[in-house]
Amino acid sequence: PLPQTRLEYDCIVIGAGVQGSFTAYQLTKNNKKTLLLEQFALPHTRGSSHGQTRIIRKAYKQDFYTHMMEESYELWAQLERETGIQLYRQTGLLLMGPKNSQNYQDLKNSLQRNKVPMVLLTRDNFSQHIPNMKLIEGHEALVDITAGVLYADRALRSVQFQKLGGVIRDKEMVTNISPGPVVTVSTNAGVYRAKSVVITAGPWANKLLTNTGLQLPLQVVKINVCYWKEKVPGLYSMQQRFPCFILTEGEESSEDIYGLPSNEYPGLVKICYHMGSETDPDQRDKQTDKSDIDILQHCIRHCLPGLIPEPAVVESCMYTLTPDRHFVLDCHPTYSNIVIGAGFSGHGFKFGPVIGKLLSELTVGQVPTYDLSPFRITRFNTKTKSAL
């Protein structure tokens, strides 16, 4: 066997999904000698960052997310300029919810308070603006105009190629993290040493944290990513100006239902329930719960008459949920040179460039650009408001 290498780095980032890739990118930009480790061969579909599209939006109940998104939009645009690759397409986001729903009203108030460009729709003008869709009786609707689609797989590739001299090693699973002033990270292929380590391992966060004496209250769920066939091809496409949409809750659903215009599979529209059933990330497909599909079928029959209410394709994705659905962006409570980005709770992709910047700031000891109190580990002893 080859002798085990002992390489010295400023920083090691574990997990090359969207958050780890942007963190490594930012650290390398700050002239830190950075190693990005990934357990699977890249690109892969085993975590939470794969797939062609994600929604990007400023519509959030909490002002701190809306403010972070303002910078995130700028950083996505900067990455587009650097790479010459289109990563964002503006489609608008249609938000719908019961008139009397606190969730919907909070979102509407937040958009108005933060002066996000929006259009309030009425029952009368709804079908002019949104053809081939029905607004449920008793529901209200608005459009977050600057929202749209992020081309997720392209984004991940661009930022991984933009490492500016950092090192990416895939097919290397971390087997041990040994804390100290210099952290030792062992993989199935070698041993690396660094002044600091960032853990952005999605569903595998707690597995990696085991050796550091910390476990976070994270729940891993498997999401059924469902694609629904158009009765007339192109009916719900971007070309027909069909927007992304979020239905905040319905008679059958306590969580959001979200959808994106047909894009990755011609003639198929991605519509998903924003929740799933608990799963072990190493045996993801043992989880076969499909109860969410009944909820989606009900919604499609009532709201999207131009779709066949039977999923044509079902793919999988994992969410790593915190109890309050807010992220974890913090230093390890015992070892300040171990930084943790975790619990992105199914709404973190759009924040990637900002989260990379924040985790990089925590790693090099700069004052973070944002107040990170909603994202601290210490909050888990206390109750906080849930995120959308």
Q: Is 195 a catalytic residue?
A: no
Q: Is 350 a catalytic residue?
A: yes
pTM of the model: 0.94
Q: Which of 226, 299, 303, 317 is an active site residue?
A: 317
Q: Which of 58, 270, 326, 347 is an active site residue?
A: 270
pLDDT category of residue 102 using cuts at 50, 70 and 90: very high
Residue of 343, 345, 333, 339 whose CA lies nearest to 362: 339
Q: Is the distance from CB of 139 to CB of 123 less than 8 angstroms?
A: no
CATH topology for 7-48+154-216+324-378 is FAD/NAD(P)-binding domain (3.50.50)
Residues of the chain with CATH 3.50.50.60: 7-48+154-216+324-378
Q: Which of 32, 222, 229, 350 is an active site residue?
A: 350
Q: Is 163 a catalytic residue?
A: no
Token pair 């009765």: residue: 231
Q: For the segment 351-364, what is each residue's pLDDT rounded down to a tens digit? A: 999 999 999 999 99
Using a pLDDT cut of 90, give the percent of the chain over it. 90
Q: Is 129 a catalytic residue?
A: no
Q: Which of 32, 46, 54, 108 is an active site residue?
A: 54
Residues of the chain with CATH 3.30.9.10: 93-145+219-321
Q: For the segment 309-343, what is each residue's pLDDT rounded down to a tens digit? A: 999 999 999 999 999 999 999 999 999 999 999 99
Q: Is 241 a catalytic residue?
A: no
Q: Which of 11, 28, 46, 50 is an active site residue?
A: 50
pLDDT category of residue 264 using cuts at 50, 70 and 90: confident
Superfamily of domain 93-145+219-321: D-Amino Acid Oxidase, subunit A, domain 2 (3.30.9.10)
